[in-house]
Amino acid sequence: MNKLTLKVVAAAVAVTVAGIAAAQFPVMEAVANKVIQKYESSTCEQLWAQKQQPKSAEEQRVIGLLKSDPQMRAAFLNKIAGPISNKMFECGMIP
């Protein structure tokens, strides 16, 4: 197989896995979209201020669910990793 074919196959697998994760965890998908939207619509100053705030009861509950279900946690992190990492980099929150 050439490199282009491998890239196409890898992309197809990624789309399939994302679709399966969304079907298995619809609530997680909604929470992930909400988190991504929060990061994309917030300024760097807002994100720095929010980082200092204690977590709400809802956030703590979601974190507990993610800690207790490795498959859901992996799907959640795979969904949010790119958008959040980019925003954090832009804001100087990660090197």
Domain that holds residue 49: 3-90
85 occurs within a structural domain: yes
50 occurs within a structural domain: yes
Mean pLDDT score, 63-72 = 93
Q: Is the dihedral of CA 85, 86, 87, 89 positive or negative?
A: positive
Q: Is 54 helix (H, G, I), strand (E, B) or coil?
A: coil
Six token digits for residue 61: 């509950």
pLDDT of 6 > 50? The answer is no
Other CB atoms within 10 A of residue 87 CB: 19
pLDDT of 39 > 70? The answer is yes
45 occurs within a structural domain: yes
Domains contained in the chain, number = 1
Q: How confident is the model at residue 1, as a pLDDT?
A: 52
Answer for the pair 74, 24: CB distance below 8 angstroms, yes or no. Answer: no
95 occurs within a structural domain: no
Helical segments of 1-95, H only? 3-24, 26-41, 44-52, 57-68, 70-90
- The model's pTM: 0.68
